[in-house]
Amino acid sequence: MNIYTSLFLILAALSLSEWSLAFKSHELSIREATVQDLQKAFKQNQLTSRQLVEFYIKEINKLNPVLKGIIEVNPDALCQAEQADQEREVKSPRSLSGLHGIPILLKDNIATKDKLNTTSGSLALLGSVVPRDAGVVMKLRNAGAIILGKASLSEWANFRTLTAPNGWSARGGQGKNPYVLSADPCGSSSGSAIAVAANLVAVSLGTETGGSIICPASFNAVVGIKPTVGLTSRAGVIPISPRQDTIGTNMIRAENGELQRVSQDWDGYPYAGLYQMLFMFLMPFIKCIPHGGYTQFLKTDGLKGKRLGIVRNLFFTFANESLLPQTFEYHFQTFRYFKHPPQINAHDSSSFSESHSVNIFPHMLVQSLRPYSGTSLAQKGAVLVDSLEIANIDVIMNFNLSGEATALLAEFKLSLNAYLKELVDSPVRSLADIIAFNQKFSDLVIDATKIAQWMTNTSRVGELMMENRLDALVTAGPCVASVLAIGGFPGISVHAAYNSKGVPVGICFGGLKGSEPKLIEIAYSFDQATKSWKPPTFQP
């Protein structure tokens, strides 16, 4: 199927009738509804979970043959929706979780003990039987969430080969960016971001070892939250590295602290021996979980008083892009003043507009970056510490030189074998398969020198933040993901701009371990001030 055939199919699907709901407070299409919007509709008896699941399944049937963001739909999703509707009729709304009756999409490396497969996109694991739900799935079910299905991904979470394109797997095919179908959707949690961006689901779970949430979020214009390693449970997730693996979320806007609260949990995955020791260092982060959850940090003035470090070297270089540098300078003004400075329409220099973000339409150019005059807005936003340098950034960003490759490959061998041994049944669980795997990777042992270099690189990033008393590092796009990954640091990617081809570009806020509350305040405040998100256009 060529790209123009794909575009035709998308346009044909979109021309079909769209189901919209008239909420009492305002008109809002389900396509753009957040979890909070959906819960409001439930409470006002304007929507049922069954209707919502039916809508998503129809959208999946129309769009997924082209986008390939979803690898499998749960055959029991409608039954779960009906159960949620029945519970809502007999229970007090206050007794129900904020995720009750909400469909959730899971990356296909997160185990579910149901009719869905868990394969990491690999045909080799098709038909394997997991012993139990993953830890986060147990918590989601207990919260009353509906498991809608499994999202596609880069096969083996981008660990099958470094040469395969992002978003491709043998099971799911090639996932496509809903903004520009020929563009990179990034990976490995590509389907989790594609599905949310295309409004095939309101929220999804992904996993990240080294950029797999942050990068797809940036490329597909969704909000991606990569938590501190160890803050969310990884029990029952097909692993790569216990030092770097983490589970996070994707959504259209930074408004769902409930999902973060539900998914948080110390691991407790029954890896034997070595891994029990590795998990011990995660236990202190239980203290980082705030009482009352994360919703309390959704503050429109969350930028106020924050210290943000701008790391320009490598992260704010935009080849052949004239507007992106201006757009991000424009966003820096937002950090300082809570809102965008005035904007000038290039076709009418006398007219000002604050209704659109820069770089959403080609004719909108920033021609005034002057700070606001007067004192009413002065010093109300964040303090920017500009042009920071991360020591040895070239080494940190090099997968091999940093020691990250050696560490991940060694841990992948051990942790994958541990996962396979726990499966109730699997086509690749035979002794011959395990021996063949071990022989193929027998040379993968942890190099102490490489690990020492890896940990040194990690500490330098933390030192930079502490020396400058930073609440967050700020970078454009997803490249900082490697820096966050090797340190186990959290990060949030929020939509910021579109490049000259219409491909989304995110802005990433990274922090020290356990700094999710501050990052959520910053990301939410920025998101509310800019409101630059636009629905996908399915360009060829």
Which one of 120, 122, 152, 212 is the catalytic residue? 212
Which one of 62, 107, 139, 306 is the catalytic residue? 107
The region that residue 373 occupies, defined by phi over 0 for left and psi between -120 and 50 for alpha, beta otherwise, is beta
CA dist 391 and 241 (Å) reads: 25
Residue 413: active-site member: no
Which one of 49, 188, 357, 515 is the catalytic residue? 188
CA dist 53 and 435 (Å) reads: 44
The region that residue 45 occupies, defined by phi over 0 for left and psi between -120 and 50 for alpha, beta otherwise, is left
User: For residue 29, what is the enclosing H or E element?
Assistant: strand 27-29
Question: Which has the closest alpha carbon to 380: 311, 330, 333, 329?
Answer: 333
User: For residue 204, what is the enclosing H or E element?
Assistant: strand 203-208
Residues for the chain: how many in total?
Answer: 540
314: Cβ contacts below 8 Å, ≥ 6 apart: 393, 397, 479
Return the DSSP state at 372. Answer: P
Question: Which has the closest alpha carbon to 313: 423, 211, 391, 389?
Answer: 389
Provide the 3-class DSSP secondary structure of residue 174: strand
260: Cβ contacts below 8 Å, ≥ 6 apart: 225, 227, 232, 249, 293, 294, 516, 520
Strands 103-107 and 223-226 turn out to be: unpaired
Residue 532: active-site member: no
Residue 188: active-site member: yes
Tokens of 41: 């509709």
Tokens of 362: 């080609």
CA dist 135 and 132 (Å) reads: 9
Q: Are 86 and 144 in contact (CB under 8 A)?
A: no
Tokens of 421: 């041994």
Amino acid at residue number 300 = T
Task: Give the torsion sign (CA, 424, 429, 434, 440).
Answer: negative
* Residue that the structure tokens 């998990």 belong to: 279
Q: Provide the CB-side half-sphere exposure for 235 (13 A, CA).
A: 22
3-state SS string for 467-521: HCCCCEEEEECCCCHHHHHHHCCCEEEEEEEECCCCCEEEEEEECCCCCHHHHHH
Provide the 3-class DSSP secondary structure of residue 417: helix
Strands 223-226 and 246-251 turn out to be: antiparallel
CA dist 249 and 213 (Å) reads: 8
User: Around Cβ 468, how many Cβ atoms within 10 Å?
Assistant: 13
Residues identified as active-site: 107, 188, 212
